[in-house]
Amino acid sequence: MADARGERTRLLPAPGDASYRGSGIAWGVLAALGVMDLVRGGIHLFAPDGGAGRIAGIDLTRGGDVIVMLFAVMGISQISWGVLNLLVALRYRTLVPLLLALQTLQQALAIWVLWLYKPLSVPAPGKYGVLVSFPILALALWLSLRPRVGAAASESLQRNDPARLAR
């Protein structure tokens, strides 16, 4: 019989390398995005119209069942990303820059699709939301890649520590 703790460890391994040196703001932005994704994903998945008509203002009289189904699928994706964002922000912080890079890329592509390639003809919140979230995520990514001021000074002191150099 398998050990339940061992199975959980395989699914969620120990955090391992705890060497995240980026800003706390960056993982805070990722955690906030995770919560936001859980909320909007829940709306897209569980609301009767997926938020397509009532929130986004999309006409559901033609092809409404397909639109609602696509919103539900989008909701599943958002919930999955929300769980992953929260997991990384709270447990696997060394992956914060990677997740922020992926999220920033996703938002950049969403801007391209929603505004240029296949422009959305209704003033849906997501259409404007990407214009707000993209620069915030780009800033958070930049902050996640820069060492914290205190961490950089501490690292510099450790590198130049005479006792350490004598070893």
Residue by residue, DSSP assigns 107-125 as HHHHHIIIIIIS--SS--H
Question: What whole-number distance in Å separates Cα of residue 160 and Cα of residue 119?
Answer: 55
In the chain, how many domains are there?
A: 1
Q: Is residue 115 part of a domain?
A: yes
pLDDT digits (tens, 9 = 90+) for 128-164: 999 999 999 999 999 999 987 765 555 555 555 555 5
Whether residue 155 is contained in a domain is answered as: no
Inside any domain, residue 4:
no
Look at residue 103 and tell me if it is in a domain. yes
Task: State residue 149's pLDDT score.
Answer: 73
Q: How buried is 40 (Cβ within 10 angstroms: 0-12 exposed, 13-18 middle, 19+ buried)? A: buried
Give the domain extent around 67.
Answer: 22-147
**16: pLDDT strictly greater than 70:** no
6 found inside a domain: no
Angle at 34 between CA 122 and CA 112, to 5 degrees: 40
Q: Is residue 85 part of a domain?
A: yes
Q: How many CB atoms lie within 10 A of CB 86?
A: 18
**Of 7-16, 22-31, 71-80, 101-110, the least confident:** 7-16
Position 1 pLDDT exceeds 80: no
Indicate whether 152 belongs to any domain. no
Percentage with pLDDT > 70 across the chain: 82
Whether the per-residue pLDDT at 74 is higher than 90: the answer is yes
Check residue 95 and give its pLDDT: 93
Q: Of 6-10, 30-34, 74-78, 142-146, which gets the smallest average pLDDT?
A: 6-10
User: Does residue 124 form part of some domain?
Assistant: yes
Residues 80-107: tens digit of each pLDDT = 999 999 999 999 999 999 999 999 999 9
C-alpha–C-alpha distance, residues 68 and 7, integer Å: 37
Query: Whose structure tokens read 């780009």?
Result: 138
